[in-house]
Amino acid sequence: MSSAAATHKMPPPSVRAPSKLLALVEGRAVFELAAFYATRHLLAMLPKGDGHPVLVLPGFLASDSSTQPLRRLLKDLGYEVHGWGLGRNVRVDNSRVKAMEDLLLRIHRTSGRKVSIIGWSLGGVFARELAKIHPEAVRQVVSLGSPIHDDRRHTNASRLFEMLNGKDPEPIRNGRFTGLHEAPPVPTTSILTRSDGIVHWRGSVQHPHHGHELTENIEVRASHCGLGVNPSVMVALADRLAQNEGEWKPFHPRLSQRWMFPTSPLH
């Protein structure tokens, strides 16, 4: 097949961005934010943590302000919570990766404990890659609607991302940030929604691979832009973070919580 033919070949059905309709209705995230504040007193009753540090990374084009509600809740649940403090998540270059590494290692060193990392969208990609680089400093990783596959056709934001970073950002040219589908060697949870209007849900599915059983997918009913405030996501996050270190088990919601989590197979 010629290179021109290969370029214009349509992607297989499983590799595509979300529909335009789903993208158009991402505005429903405002209702998820309203639900977050309406149930805030109940969310404060979720399982308490053991005080270990949690680093929260924002999504593409977002800053720490987008994760503020989540971070305040986690602080109330007893964690030592950190934003990333690096402004807007726009550029993917070596200096940004180095800054995140330094931040992770500083938190690990000053707390004397391993760090749980929560990353929203592109922040989840960073979280997984940081855990691959420094697994000794990471307790677990939770990604929210993250495109955890090398093929960017899973996301509606690929064109804008490449306009700002190029098709091959600096870390990729240096041999890093490839094999995104490979989970880090720590417990890793991918929280995703089939109604994601930015990242196709199949692009967020972790597929188990030999020798690594510490991975899972949790499906919720949410928008992409609402994942950081959706009450069902808060339930899953609180459960994941409250596990004792070294005793990770897959997520099983309580009977009263099961209505929040679809059970259809993720293929």
Tell me the per-residue pLDDT of 171-210, one tens digit each, with 9 for 90 and over: 888 888 889 999 999 999 999 999 999 999 999 999 876 5
Residues 123-129 have a mean pLDDT of 97
Provide Rg for the chain, Cα atoms. 18
Residue 200 lies in a domain: yes
Residue 91 lies in a domain: yes
Q: How far apart are CA 239 and CA 233, in angstroms?
A: 10
Residue 239 lies in a domain: yes
Whole-number pLDDT of residue 6: 35
Whole-number pLDDT of residue 212: 67
Predicted confidence (pLDDT) at residue 112 exceeds the cutoff of 60: yes
Q: Give the count of domains, the chain.
A: 1
Whole-number pLDDT of residue 62: 97
Q: How far apart are CA 249 and CA 50, in angstroms?
A: 17
Whole-number pLDDT of residue 14: 63
Whole-number pLDDT of residue 175: 80
Residue 69 lies in a domain: yes
**pLDDT tens per residue across span 204-259:** 999 876 556 899 999 999 999 999 999 999 999 999 999 999 999 999 999 999 99
Domain that holds residue 87: 17-243+253-258
Residues 151-163 have a mean pLDDT of 91
Question: pTM for the whole thing?
Answer: 0.92
| Phi and psi torsions of 118, nearest 5° | -110, 125
Which regions of 114-264 does DSSP assign to beta strands (E)?
115-120, 138-144, 188-192, 215-219
Q: What CATH number did the domain enclosing 182 receive?
A: 3.40.50.1820
Contact between residue 180 and residue 191 where contact means Cβ atoms under 8 Å apart = no
The CA dihedral of 136, 140, 144, 147, to the nearest 10 degrees, is 40
**pLDDT tens per residue across span 1-58:** 333 333 334 444 567 899 999 999 999 999 999 999 999 999 999 999 999 999 999 9
Whole-number pLDDT of residue 211: 55
Residue 98 lies in a domain: yes
Whole-number pLDDT of residue 16: 86
Whole-number pLDDT of residue 81: 98
